[in-house]
Homo-oligomer: A and B are copies of this chain.
C-alpha cells in the first residue's frame, strides 16, 4: 500500500464541513491537479465553474434539493466545454457532435475524480452532486452557461465536520469481470444486502439503511422524471445528439 491508495480506499462522502475556509493556495493546487487530468486527444473539452457567489450557491442547493450544499465552503461545477474548441475551429457550430460531447463528458468526470483524490489527500472532504441533473436547464440558466457547454457533475468540498462509516460496496468479483460480462450471483446480493444493513447513514442516524435490493427498487423506479430530460437539454445547448 501507499498513502495515495490508502486515501482512495478511505473515500466517504462528506456533507458537513467546518466553518474553516479552504484557502486560495489549496484551491490553486486542486485546480492545477484538475487541468493535469487525462483528456481525450488532448482537447481539454471540459471546464470548471467555481461558484463563490452565495446567492448562486443558495439557488444550486434549491435545484439540487439538498440544503446543506449552500453551506459548503467550496462549490465546483464540472462542465462539458466544447464551446472553446468550436470557436477555435471556426465558429460556434463547428462539430457539435456526439463524439465531442462524449469526450467532454468523460474529460469533466476525470477532472472531477482527480480533484476528489487530491482534496482527500490533503484531508479535505468532498461530496459529488449528481443533483445538477435534477434540473439541468435551471443550472444552465442560473449560471448563464452558453451553448456547447453542459453541466456534468457538481462537487462541494471543505474541512470535514463529520466522520461517517465507510459505505459497503458490492464485492470486487461482482464488478470486475474477465473477458466478458457475468451476472451478479444471488448469494453475493444476499450478503451485500446484509452488509448494507449494518451501515448507518449519517443523514438519518435514527434508522438502519435499507437493503441494497430495496434501495435499487426505489431508485430504478419505472417512472420517468426531470432527470431524464438531461439529453434533451443538452440538445437545446446546441449538441447534435
Contact = CB atoms under 8 A, between A and B. Distances in A.
A216 B89 contact: yes
Contact of A98 (B1, B28, B230): B230
B169 A118 contact: no
Contact of A228 (B2, B99, B184, B221): B99
Interface string A218-241: 011110110111110000000001
25 contacts: A1-B29, A4-B117, A11-B38, A13-B38, A31-B172, A31-B175, A32-B172, A34-B176, A40-B128, A41-B130, A43-B219, A44-B169, A47-B176, A50-B177, A50-B178, A84-B174, A88-B212, A89-B220, A94-B222, A99-B228, A102-B133, A106-B130, A109-B113, A145-B180, A231-B231
Interface residues of A, number: 107
Given A11-B38, A83-B183, A94-B220, 4 more contacts: A9-B33, A38-B113, A85-B219, A110-B112
Interface stretch (A15-23, A51-59, A62-70, A156-164): A51-59
Given A36-B9, A114-B113, A143-B179, A97 B49 contact: no
A45 to B, nearest CB: 9
A167 interface: yes
A123 to B, nearest CB: 10
Contacts of A56: 179
A149 interface: yes
A213 interface: yes
A48 interface: yes
Contacts of A137: none
A84 to B, nearest CB: 5
Interface centre among A38, A177, A179, A183 (most CB of B within 10 A): A38
Nearest to A127: B38
A215 B49 CA distance: 25
Given A32-B9, A144-B180, A180-B144, A99 B227 contact: yes
Contact of A220 (B85, B152, B230): B85
B220 A86 contact: yes
Contact of A4 (B4, B36, B167, B222): B4
